[in-house]
Amino acid sequence: MELAHKLELLHRTPYFASLPPDQLRELARKVRERNYQADDVIFRRGELCQGLYVVLSGRVRTLTRSAEGRQQILKVFGPGRTFADIPAFDNGLFPAEAVAATNSTIGFISRVALLDLLRRNPDLSLAVIRVFASRLRAYKQLVEDLSLRGVVARVARLLLDRARGADTLTEEPASLSLRVTQDEIAAMVGSVREVVQRALKTLEHDGAIQMARGRVRIADVQELELWSASESTTPTTPKVPPGPPLPRSRGAGTGGPGRAIS
C-alpha cells in the first residue's frame, strides 16, 4: 500500500488521529502489511499476541465458536479500525478468533512500537481509554440484547446501528444499504439462519427494510427504532403488527372451530 494512503488510514484510526505528522509518518513505516483472502484466519483464540492489528482495507470479524462449530460474531471492523487491542496491551493470549470477512489488507504494529509511542505521547492514552470504554459499552449491549430481547428486536437493533454508524457490533461508516448474508446476521445476533430469515421478512412486511439478493436496504429508520425496543423479554414468536381478520373458510359451521391455516 502506498505510504500516503497508509498515512490517511492511520490518521482515521482513533488511537493515532492526534499524532503529529512526523510521528505518524514514522509509525506508518513501522507497520507491517499482510494480505488475506475472504475467510482466511488472521489469528486463532488462545494464540500469543505480539502487537496491534489495524484494517487497512477490507473487513475483519472477530468471533468465538462452540464445540459444535456454531459462531458468535463479536465485532466487525472496517478500514481504519484496530483489533486485538486487549492482548496487545495486557501481553496475553487472543480471546477470540479473527477472520477476514472480505479480501483484506491488515497492518500489524508490534507491542514494542505501540508502547513506545504511548510513552512519548501520554495524551494518546486518553484515546485508548475512549476506545476501550466504547467497546465495553458495546459488549454490554450485546449481552443485554441476547438476554432480554427477541430475534426481531435484535436484528432491528443491528440494522439501526448500521444506519446510524454506531460502534456496537460493527465499526464501519453508516450505511442504509448493507451487503450481508443471513448467516452473518444470525452469527451477530446469536440466532440461526431460519429464525433470522423470518425476522427479516417481518421487518420487510412492516416497511422497515427492503431485501434483495445478498443485500438489505433500510427503508424506514424510525420503524426500525420502534422494532428495536419492541421486546423486553424473549418471545417464542416475533411480534407482528395486527392485520385484517382472516376470511371464514367456506363450509365452516358456526358451532365448531374453523380449519387451521398453515
Q: What is the CATH number of the domain that holds 31?
A: 2.60.120.10
> Per the domain annotation, does 255 fall within a domain?
no
For residue 52, the Cα-to-chain-centroid distance in whole angstroms is 19
In a domain, 257, yes or no: no
> For each successive 10 residues of the chain (262 residues), what is the average pLDDT?
86 88 91 96 96 95 88 92 94 95 96 91 88 89 85 93 88 87 91 94 94 89 89 41 43 36 26
Q: Are residues 196 and 126 in the same domain?
A: no
* Beta strands 170-171 and 71-77, pairing class: parallel
CATH number at residue 156: 1.10.10.10
In terms of domains, do 7 and 122 share one?
Answer: yes
Rounded CA-CA distance 65/41 in Å is 13
Furthest CA-CA distance within the chain: 86
Q: Please provide the size of the chain in residues.
A: 262
Q: How far apart are CA 99 and CA 56, in angstroms?
A: 14
- State the pLDDT at residue 256: 39
Residue ending a domain, choose from 110, 138, 166: 138
Q: What is the pLDDT of residue 231?
A: 57
Cβ atoms of 186 and 72 within 8 Å: the answer is: no
| Residue 262 counted as domain residue | no
Please tell me the predicted confidence (pLDDT) of residue 58: 95
Q: What is the pLDDT of residue 247?
A: 45
- The reply to whether 115 and 224 lie within a common domain is no
- Flag whether 100 is in a domain: yes
- Specify the pLDDT at position 165: 87
Answer for the pair 31, 19: CB distance below 8 angstroms, yes or no.
no
> Is residue 54 domain-shared with residue 114, that is, in the same domain?
yes
Counting Cα atoms < 13 Å in the Cβ hemisphere of 158 gives 33
Asked whether residue 218 is domain-assigned, the answer is: yes
Q: How many structural domains comprise the chain?
A: 2
N-term to C-term CA, the chain: 56
State residue 232's pLDDT score.
Answer: 40
Domain that includes residue 182, residue range:
149-228
On whether both 45 and 91 belong to a single domain, the answer is yes
* Distance, CA of 35 to CA of 262 (rounded, Å): 50
Q: DSSP class of residue 58?
A: S
The C-alpha cell 414468536 sits at 237
53 with 175, same domain? no
